[in-house]
Chain A
Amino acid sequence: MSSYLRTMKESVSGDPNAVFVFLCNFEVERRWAQSYTGLPGPQVSGSDETVQRLEELGALLGAEGDYLLLRSPLDPGFRAYAEGLGLAPPSELVPENFPEGASTSAAVLGSPVLLDRLRALGRAGAHLMPMGTSADEQKIAEITGLRLAGADADRAEKVNSKIYSRRITEQLGLRTIPGACCESVDELARALDTGLAAAPAVIVKEAYGVSGRGLIVLRGRTQADRLLRMVRRRAERTGSDRLDVVVEHFLPKRADLNYQFTVGRDGGVHFDFVKEALTENGIHKGHLMPSRLDREQIADLEKTSLALGRRLFEDGFFGVVGVDALLGEDSLVYPVLEINARLNMSSYQGRATEALSRPGGVVLAKHYPLRLERPLTFTEIHEALQGFHRTGTEDTGILLTCFATVNAQAAAATGPFDGRLYTLLFAPDRERLGKLDHGVTERLGALTARKGNPR
């Protein structure tokens, strides 16, 4: 078992060899957001099924003796591929009932045969490790006897608010991006006045915005007035002026950062890693390791993790915590943009990077968009990338980390559909990493149904 996973298990369960049942419920942020008022707007997304199928990332985190709850089994080719690299996935547990549109957690709760299997695992002392805990995951733990490897749903929801993050960052005296918490329309109006008087642009973020959504950059008074007009109209219509958003001054940045620490069941705090997060307009595009931070900056983040972890524990939380941060153009680290008190995309990379990266090397986590005429098999994707794969002997190469997202939208499509291939790219230096990325992009482009549409 990787030392990354052993450390995680020891922190949250007390036993480095504990058996975990992983449930990678990427949709958890939407559940937490349900009781809060964010920005006006339709929930536009063409990729719900893709988001849910990201659950397969758990295949490369869990160890052979662990379990992974999944909507449908892993492609046998993907399992054999991972095993061949020494990354044998956990045993798969698939709900026998799967109502259309249900989340994996809801399907588990509606599958008596699977619940009996989980009860047996619970009696043997296994833990449930959801990506994040909402009411459904807590209920699975309660009715099966699996021990929850983190805080309960109420505490998890509370500490995942950006309003909570901002307030504890200020209380702990950490460097904060100038801005304000807003819990009413009038507070938003005041925060926009103050913000736009001091900065050329501000960002309004929903307290429970799902990653890459629920934020808007306002580059001046006109846009601010437009937003206020819409928000006030909604308040009139609903009879409530409640709002749950934060306003931040727009800061020029050198890099986005993502770091992780784990708050143990006993209150101990372990700093896990810091990576550079690649984003476009706030939308997650990948991670780069190592980050460009110097030793002192990393030490500061370790200290910050300790302070945040202690504070979260005081509020009843324990478990894995990811934090988004920013390295400003001013070379200052702004250590808290938001706290995601759950596992993050980067959490799932730890076992594979530990096994396959080389000292001094670089690793890029990224996904490649695909436009496909028909579902592809794992073998087809694997063959298309022949010569680029990370093997035991080559330092440069690609690891496929999630296959289910390639065909996730196929079932609902009446024509060509969009897919995503999630990967880790390994290379001795950035130059060779760039060449590998370019080569992979070209090969995958040949699989794409329609040309001339790069993203």
Chain B
Amino acid sequence: MQRNEAVTAIESALTEVLEREVSGTEESARLFEDLHLDSTSVLELLMSLEDLVGIEVDPDELDADDFRTVGTLTDFLLTAKGSPADEPLAARG
């Protein structure tokens, strides 16, 4: 899975969960503060991502840091898919 595919999947899942169009996000965008995800929606987001990306997530093993930004969630997805993160997060600002 390519990095941009993971970001697109996250945007699709956010669109479903937040019930509004989410696209063109920066990887530095914070899920809670900037995109206004709330804590009750995290499980819904994970369920949606499982279907979209075809992964199985063990939500209890997830770290709060994975949900900090679009970029950190992308890293998590790529790891879950077994794809290497193609560039370090710091380089993407």
Residues of B within 8 A of A223 (CB): 44, 47
Q: Would you call the interface of chain B mostly helix, strand, loop, or mixed?
A: helix
- Verify A281–B40 contact, CB threshold 8 A: yes
Complex CA–CA separation, A45 to B63 (angstroms): 10
The residues in A between 210 and 255 inclusive whose CB is less than 8 angstroms from any CB of B are: 212-217, 223, 226-227, 229-230, 233-234, 237
Instruction: Determine which of A217, A226, A227, A281 lies in contact with B51 in the assembled complex, contact meaning CB atoms within 8 Å.
Output: A226
Task: State the Cβ distance, A368 to closest chain B Cβ, in Å.
Answer: 15
One of A36-44, A143-151, A306-314 at the interface: A36-44
Complex CA–CA separation, A252 to B82 (angstroms): 43
Task: State the Cβ distance, A255 to closest chain B Cβ, in Å.
Answer: 19
- Beyond A45-B39, A226-B51, A418-B33, whether A40 also contacts B59 by CB under 8 A is yes
Closest A-chain residue to B44, C-beta based? Answer: A216
- Beyond A216-B40, A237-B58, A455-B36, whether A42 also contacts B64 by CB under 8 A is yes
Residues of B within 8 A of A215 (CB): 40
Complex CA–CA separation, A201 to B41 (angstroms): 15
The residues in B between 20 and 44 inclusive whose CB is less than 8 angstroms from any CB of A are: 32-34, 36, 38-44
Complex CA–CA separation, A229 to B67 (angstroms): 22
In the complex, B5 has a CB within 8 A of chain A: no
Number of chain B interface residues as a range: 20 to 34
Complex CA–CA separation, A42 to B31 (angstroms): 14
- Beyond A212-B40, A213-B39, A216-B40, whether A43 also contacts B33 by CB under 8 A is no
- Verify B62–A283 contact, CB threshold 8 A: no
Residues of A within 8 A of B58 (CB): 40, 233-234, 237
Residues of A within 8 A of B47 (CB): 223, 226-227, 230
Instruction: Determine which of B34, B41, B59 lies in contact with A453 in the assembled complex, contact meaning CB atoms within 8 Å.
Output: B34
In the complex, B60 has a CB within 8 A of chain A: yes
Residues of B within 8 A of A281 (CB): 38, 40-41
In the complex, A86 has a CB within 8 A of chain B: no
Task: State the Cβ distance, B72 to closest chain A Cβ, in Å.
Answer: 12
Q: Which residues of A contact B (CB under 8 A)?
A: 39-46, 212-217, 223, 226-227, 229-230, 233-234, 237, 280-283, 371, 418, 453, 455
6 residue pairs from A and B, CB less than 8 Å apart: A41-B43, A45-B39, A213-B40, A214-B40, A226-B47, A455-B33
* 9 more CB-based (< 8 A) A-B contacts, given A39-B43, A212-B38, A215-B40: A42-B64, A212-B40, A223-B44, A226-B47, A226-B48, A230-B47, A233-B56, A283-B38, A371-B33
